[in-house]
Structure formats: C-alpha cells, structure tokens
Amino acid sequence: MKRAAFSLIELLVVIAIIGLLLALLLPAVQKVREAAGRAACINNLKQHGIALHHHHDTYGYFPPGYTVKATDNLEMGGYCGFIPLLPFLEEDNWFNQWNPNKLWYEPPNSDLVSISMKVFLCPSNRTYGVINTSFLATIAGRPLPNLAACDYALCKGANAAMCEHCQVPWAFRGVFDVNTQTRVTQITDGTSNSFAIGESAGGTPLYRMRRWYDDTTPDEGLFPGQSPYFDQSWSSGPAATGALHSRGLMGGACIAITALRGGYDPPFDEPMNNSLVLPSFDFNNDCTNSGSTRGTYDIISGFHSVHPGGCNFLFCDGSVRFVRQSISADTYRALSTFAGGEVLGDY
C-alpha cells in the first residue's frame, strides 16, 4: 500500500499560493497601519490645538513661535514655542524646571531637551526620536545634550526673515513668529482659514537637506557624523551658532514657512512635501527678506509629512484638516498667514 504524500510540485503550488495571499494582504495591512498612524497624528495636533487655546485663555495670546532675548542672532540659544505649551499638555513638571534665562544646552535646560515626548512625534513616522549631537562636542568645546526630536512645526507664515523684533509685514506674517504674541482678534483672515501648526516629519530618508533655495541636490558638506536626514527639536532652535563653533550646521527650528520672501517677487515658494528640505539659517541681513541672492535672506524649512499626498494641519480654530500637496502656491501662502486678506482658492 502506497503512503499518501505531497509531491514536490504540489508543495511548490501551495507555497506559491501562500506567497500570493501574503502579497495581497501586505498592502491592506500597510493601509490599516497608515490609517491608524494618521488618526494618532491628527489626535496629537488636536491636543496641540487645545493647549494653544488654553494658553490663549490664560494669557490672552498665543505663545511666540520662537523666543530669543537681547540678540538678533536667532542661533544663539533661543527656545521654541512648544515650551510654553508644556503645562497645557500635562507636562507641568518639565515646564517648571525650564529656565528661560539659560541657553538650551545649559543646566537645567540641558536635562530637559533630551526628553522624547510622543505628543511631538507622528506615529506614522516614529514613536521615539533623539537628534545625536555627540559629533559636535569636540567642535563646540563642551558636552552637549542630545535633542529630543519633533515632527511638527509652528506656522511662521510666508516670510522666513528672523529678527528679535519681528518686522515681517502683517500680510505675510504667520501666527507664530519671533517674540510675537498673536491674539485671536488679530486673525482677520478667520481662525478657520489660518494655519497654526503643520507636520514637519524628521529623521526619515524621505527628506534630505539642501543648503540653498535653488539647490536641486542634497547638500554634501555636512559636519562629520551628522545625519543626512532633516530633523528638528521640540525645544530648541537651530544648533548652528558661533557660540558652539557650528556655523553651517544643517537642521530645523520648530517653525516652518510656505514661502521665504512673501511680499517680494519672486516669493520663493516652498512647496509642501519638498523632498529636499531647507535648514534654518539666520544671515542677519535685514528683517523682511528683501534680498534674493544666496546669503542675503534668512531660510527656514517648509512643511512635510510621511502621509501620501499631503500634510495634516491644525488650524487656529482648533480643527485639523488634511491639506493636499497639489494645493496652489497662492492658496498655500494665504492659509499660512492670518491678516493677508486674500481670497482663498480650493484646497
């Protein structure tokens, strides 16, 4: 009596069928994961919106996008607008330890900037992120804390000029600029038509860095040991500073723009999800970005995400909407400002 058994051909057929089923199943699983990640990302932004309005109810204004004292050099240790939001994100303990009179790399702040917080990370991109700054220690001549990363940015508007006293014209200013305290009553374009916070995914191969606006290839002149992928911190500004001997260090600064030279022709639009992201460099030339040649205007990164086709944005009314990257440049700029008086197109 012959023993029943599978032939080699039958086994190969079964394996092929299993492989085919797995190939069909994988995209479905990826879609479910992306849907879950996007929902969690939206929830993060909604928490930011609640925190912003609680801050406004408490103090009468939204926090500055970036705070710096007694200098027009924004790379000298200022701190991000997410810091004042910590008490309203149930992070009172960390906020109470923050010393606004110290630099981000000085105690006690140096112990806080390394804390990775899930509310500042898009789950579709990562659930933990720290920017390694150990390669800078020798250059800086001192130890430096590793900076906890961030996947969101406060909207600075359509002009990247950075000065201690903001001089960007109102029509091109975002709700979060340098040392500003924007009130809801000043948002004349309407809170439902004005960006507050958008995605700025970091630490991913999807987004590498370019040095100048007109560059079409990634910058190769990175500091030895620096990651080639764009990233930014939720706590500090750019680490490119003369104090740390790190001028030219590529990195973001938790504020983002839709154009670099709003108010001038050309405005140097920065499209959403541009695969080559600009770093944050303060060239200290003027406070309105009137220059158009390299080194004569300040630069800040644009908005970008890992979600296909666009980015999630928190609007000033607290709503969160997915804005497609096919949006027109005019409408994109208009949404990023709060007092421009523009007529919005479809988005």
Rounded to the nearest 5 degrees, what angle is found at the Cα of 338, between the Cα atoms of 302 and 194? 65
Asked if 254 contacts 230 with a C-beta cutoff of 8 angstroms, the reply is no
CA of 182: how far to CAs of 62, 84, 177, in Å? 5, 14, 9
Q: Is residue 145 part of a domain?
A: yes
Using the predicted structure, report yes or no on whether residue 72 has a pLDDT greater than 80: no
The count of other CB atoms within 10 Å of the CB of residue 256 is 32
Q: Is residue 8 part of a domain?
A: no
Q: Is residue 21 part of a domain?
A: no
Taking alpha carbons only, the member of 203, 229, 226 closest to residue 218 is 229
- Number of domains observed in the structure of the chain: 1
* Location of structure tokens 């600075």: 156
Q: Per-residue pLDDT tens for 30-40?
A: 555 666 778 99
Average pLDDT over residues 256-274: 97
**Among 59-73, 79-93, 122-136, 138-152, whose mean pLDDT is lowest?**
59-73
Asked if 272 contacts 301 with a C-beta cutoff of 8 angstroms, the reply is no
The count of other CB atoms within 10 Å of the CB of residue 196 is 27
Using the predicted structure, report yes or no on whether residue 76 has a pLDDT greater than 80: no
Q: Is residue 253 part of a domain?
A: yes
Q: Is residue 26 part of a domain?
A: no
- 273 against 6, higher pLDDT: 273
Q: Per-residue pLDDT tens for 162-196?
A: 988 999 999 999 999 999 999 999 999 999 999 99
Q: Is residue 27 part of a domain?
A: no
Give the span between the Cα atoms of 238 and 232, in whole angstroms: 8
Q: Tell me which residue range forms the domain holding 71.
A: 32-336
Name the token pair of 346.
């479809």
Average pLDDT over residues 126-138: 91
Q: Is residue 7 part of a domain?
A: no
Q: What is the pLDDT of residue 240?
A: 75
Q: What is the pLDDT of residue 152?
A: 98
Name the token pair of 153.
């940015």
Q: Is residue 343 part of a domain?
A: no
Taking alpha carbons only, the member of 177, 178, 121, 176 closest to residue 148 is 121
